[in-house]
Amino acid sequence: MPNTSLLTVERLCFERDDCNVFEQIDLRVNAGDIVQIEGINGSGKTTLLRLLTTALQPTSGTISYSGQSIDLCRYQYLSDILYLGHQPAVKMTLTAAENLRWMTAGSSACPETALVAVGLAGYVDVPCYSLSAGQHRRVALARLLMTDALVWFLDEPFTAIDKQGVGFLENCMRDHVKRGGAIVLSSHQDLRLDGVRKYQLMPHTDQRGL
């Protein structure tokens, strides 16, 4: 598969309360890439993912999608990305299926089928306040089976899931990049996937570009 540049980050800086969280980040993500963001707690891994998904605005630097500034192709960019945060973000009063319909509005995929695939058969119509933390995470991960997004941003996706859930998630990631997608994730876990590129995030210093 030819390396088609999807995401390019150049000299990205971010300040909070007049202090640098990080600076001079250079990063390139190609079709078929899995890029794992590493760093100590507090180094800014979640902040970087939020910048890349436009939830935060950088202090300086540029983020480009398919060679164009995301400021100029914002709608297309947001349509082509999926972000799963550190928290599963389920609504406790809704059932698992209702949550998934809300999370993936507009998807033609079947929420019930996706929930069964992530191991929630029998819990599809159960309110989420009755489910465990691991089951909440599975509801969120079911989004991966319902999205057409090209670039996935995953923040600590292995939190609160068992070995079966880890295997499911790794298979989803493997299939996604085989189809030409790309993944940027933060995780302290060693991935059992081929070709993972690691980016060491070091706050307050120049970053090691990829």
Which option is the CATH number for 1-80+181-210: 3.50.50.60, 3.40.50.300, 3.40.50.150, 3.40.50.10800? 3.40.50.300
pLDDT averages per 10-residue partition of the chain, 210 residues? 77 88 91 94 90 95 96 95 92 96 89 94 96 93 94 93 89 95 92 92 56
Angle at CA of residue 47, ends 41 and 50, nearest 5°: 140
Tokens matching residue 183? 């993944």
Q: How far is CA 125 from CA 93, 122, 130, 189, 200, in A?
A: 11, 8, 11, 32, 42
What pTM did the predictor assign?
A: 0.90
pLDDT tens, position by position, 132-185 = 999 999 999 999 999 999 999 999 998 888 888 899 999 999 999 999 999 999
pLDDT of residue 2: 47
pLDDT on residue 204: 57
Residue 5 Ramachandran class (φ > 0 left, ψ -120 to 50 alpha, else beta): beta
